Amino acid sequence: GQNIDQPTEMTATEGAIVQINCTYQTSGFNGLFWYQQHAGEAPTFLSYNVLDGLEEKGRFSSFLSRSKGYSYLLLKELQMKDSASYLCAPYNFNKFYFGSGTKLNVKP
Amino acid sequence: DSGVTQTPKHLITATGQRVTLRCSPRSGDLSVYWYQQSLDQGLQFLIQYYNGEERAKGNILERFSAQQFPDLHSELNLSSLELGDSALYFCASSVPGGADTQYFGPGTRLTVL
């Protein structure tokens, strides 16, 4: 089975840094995706981690610890448009498990 | 725009009815995935097809079925519809190999009355 845990909701201020954590227990694991989803829209790909460590991509970074079943998404220099849900998705070849997502509210 | 298209955008129907949702993947993508997202819920993986063959199955009800055609477009059939089937249905596609990064279509919003 699978168990994915993310905070339900977070609030941060424009220009700040926020870290969204995800812990997971899945039967089989090959890597972990992060997706962004604005309300009523399709998810869009942000990052994919296979190996332990930090992957940086512009204002967004993602970290993975396979031994701990833990990942986080770090968003820097927050902008109002970053208000969205962030979905953690552990991946086991051909099976994708999405967490319920963390709704991030960015306020001025 | 991800390049994945889904039709229709909205669908309103009654309980007990049957509907078909259609998805065209990005050019060159062989895999198609279907997901259900109920109000304020996470994405539930339903099923994956690769080059016409079923590859993986998730939490798909027996009332639901899907197929992928030779031109790689896919259809999701939902029958004996219930109120609880009201949701956003997303299709995604990917090029297999490596990370299998998925690109999502805009979704079909199904409302069952």
Q: Which residue has the tokens 């669908």?
A: B11
* pLDDT of the residue at A96: 77
Which residue in A43, A44, A95 is closest to B43 by CB distance? A43
- Residues in contact with B40: Cβ distance below 8 Å, sequence separation at least 6, in sequence order: none
Which residue in A31, A89, A95 is closest to B58 by CB distance? A95
* pLDDT of the residue at B56: 87
* pLDDT of the residue at A72: 98
pLDDT score of A1 more than 70: no
A45 touches chain B (CB under 8 A): yes
* pLDDT of the residue at B97: 63
* pLDDT of the residue at B99: 63
- List pLDDT tens digits, range A79-101: 999 999 999 999 887 677 888 89
Q: Which residue in B45, B37, B22 sits closest to B86, CA to CA?
A: B37
3-state secondary structure A29-41: CCEEEEEEECCCC
The CA-atom distances, in angstroms, between B98 and each of A48, A87, A95, B88 are 11, 20, 14, 28
* pLDDT of the residue at A94: 67
Which of the 8 DSSP states describes residue B38? Answer: -
pLDDT score of A44 more than 70: yes
Q: Are B112 and B15 in contact (CB under 8 A)?
A: yes
* pLDDT of the residue at B100: 72
Residues lower than pLDDT 50 in chain B:
none
Across the interface, whether the CB atoms of A95 and B41 are under 8 A apart is answered: no
Across the interface, whether the CB atoms of A44 and B42 are under 8 A apart is answered: no
Name every residue in B having a CB less than 8 A away from some CB of A. 2, 33, 35, 41-45, 48, 55-56, 58, 88, 90, 99-107
